[in-house]
Amino acid sequence: MVSGETHDTKERVPEEDVEQHSPFASFWLGGFESATHVNGRGARLDMVTATQHDRFADEDYALLRSVGIRAAREGIRWHLVEQEGAFDFSTLLPMLDAARRHGVQVIWNLCHYGWPPDVDVFDPTFVTRFARYCRAAAQFIARHSEGVPVYAPMNEISFLAFAAGDVGWFFPYARGRGNELKRQLVRATLAGVDAIRDVVPQARMVHADPIMRVVAPRDRPELVPLAAAQTASQFEAWDMIAGRREPELGGHPRYLDIVGVNFYHSNQWEYEGGRLPWEEVPRDDRWTPLHRLLRDTALRYGRPLLVAETSHVGIGRGEWLREIAAEVSLARAEGVPVQGVCLYPILDRPDWEDANHWHNSGLWDLIPDDQGTLRRVLVDEYAAELRRAQQTVRGTA
């Protein structure tokens, strides 16, 4: 498949490409928001603290089990772990202990956009610093957990390169350096995978990035090639990791293990225009159903897929999950090896730029009491849809 090519026929993923046993303990996963970058206002984010997940890790993992979820995405906060060249994983222990106590498997996110303040992401030493940190994290987790670990080394390489390297949305606020940053993040990812596998050779890797579709405005047919090129750009990081693109970076198929696809209502838009409204009825006929996006990705790489992030906001949460479950069912019926769906975030979270604005996007809303403790309040409609989805879409674990 060439960049930008799509499949409108009912092409089925070859049976040999479909992994028969899921690496995840449950098909439906919960993701704890863990972004730690420096935002557009110059403030260091710590979503683990902002949601009080650091205080209530045990309760939060018990909540996952209460709704039948036995696998989660969890962040390691690099900027807290590494101080002046030394590693201290004490901030990770509450999550490790809670996951073990409640029997929840964890995908460990090693870099969710943020790094220590003395790290220059563009400097060649970034690669060795990241690999050293990955090795230390793998050693620590191996001492405190059992089973085959799963890691997500670098979250959303494509989005991070765009946001921090092209448009200056957050630190280091670079512009016009997105391609340079993408290559640097890929180098670091490859080095990190090698470091982890030196410690635990059987460790699994999830490489998550958004899947998207860009279309030309109806009255601008001359923009069709540019829209197609922007759509094709979503594959660049995965192609680099697999050694298909810029092989001098060191990529190889052995690095591309589980392809994580992140999908939200804003992942389809007009070139240089607004998003295609998911919520409109009838929906824009240029909207590409998720099962087709999943099929295209699987046909391109022949690797197992994880919907690594998906959710909606407010009253649309239940309806969104209902559609996701239906689309994933269609994809799996066509032989697409979707082996899990992660509801992300599983707990509501504040906006990156405005800490007073909460997205109302979790399975649990977070409501402050008189002492400022964020109470976890289950969203009934969303939970009901999850129960239906768990009955209709099951994994092979």
- pLDDT on residue 195: 98
213 with 227: CB under 8 angstroms? no
Query: Distance between CA 22 and CA 170 in Å, rounded?
Result: 36
Peptide bond into 345 cis (omega under 30): yes
Contacts of 371 (CB under 8 A, 6+ apart): none
Closest residue by Cα to residue 211 from 336, 108, 116: 336
- pLDDT on residue 313: 95
Pairing relationship of beta strands 150-152 and 204-210 according to DSSP bridges: parallel
- pLDDT on residue 90: 97
200 with 149: CB under 8 angstroms? yes
Could you tell me the pTM of the whole model?
A: 0.94
pLDDT in tens, 203-247: 999 999 999 999 999 999 999 999 999 999 999 999 999 999 999
- pLDDT on residue 190: 98
- pLDDT on residue 394: 79
Closest residue by Cα to residue 112 from 374, 349, 312, 382: 349
**Class of residue 84 by CB neighbours under 10 A (exposed 0-12, middle 13-18, buried 19+):** exposed
Burial of 310-342, coded b for 16+ CB within 10 Å and e otherwise, reads bbbeeebbbebbbbbbbbbebbbebbbbbbbbb
Q: What is the mean pLDDT of each run of 10 residues along the chain (397 residues)?
A: 40 46 94 97 97 98 98 98 95 97 98 96 98 98 95 97 96 97 98 98 98 97 97 97 98 98 97 95 96 98 98 96 98 97 98 96 98 98 97 74
Query: Distance between CA 359 and CA 167 in Å, rounded?
Result: 23
Query: Distance between CA 315 and CA 308 in Å, rounded?
Result: 22
- pLDDT on residue 20: 54
- pLDDT on residue 11: 57
- pLDDT on residue 21: 80
